[in-house]
Amino acid sequence: DGGITQSPKYLFRKEGQNVTLSCEQNLNHDAMYWYRQDPGQGLRLIYYSQIVNDFQKGDIAEGYSVSREKKESFPLTVTSAQKNPTAFYLCASSWGLAGSNGELFFGEGSRLTVL
C-alpha cells in the first residue's frame, strides 16, 4: 500500500536532548513537509522540500533541522534550541507543491513529549 509512514508514534525525551522524527513515503511525491500541531493552533509549517537536497524554512523553523538526501525520506530533528517542543508533528507529501495541483497526504503523526 502506498502512503506516508511516520515513526515513532509516541516519543518521550528529557529536556535538552535532540530528537529525530522519521518520515518515509512511497508515493513518489516530489514535495514533502513538516507541520507542527498544537491545540487550537491549527497546522504550522516548519520546513518543506521540493526536491532532493533542497529544503526551505517555513513559518516556525527555529529550533528544528531537516535533511532530504533521498526522495522518499524527510527526517525532522527537534533540537535542544526549540523552546517548547512538546507537540504533535505531522509529515506530509504532495505531487509538486500542494495548492498547485493537488492535495497534501499526511502521515499519522508523531506525538513528542518533553519531560
Interface with other proteins, residue 104, by CB under 8 A: yes
Interface with other proteins, residue 98, by CB under 8 A: yes
Nearest CA to 34 out of 64, 14, 70, 69 is that of 64
Interface with other proteins, residue 103, by CB under 8 A: yes
Interface with other proteins, residue 3, by CB under 8 A: no
Question: Which residues are near other proteins by CB under 8 A?
Answer: 33, 35, 40-45, 48, 58-59, 90, 97-100, 102-109
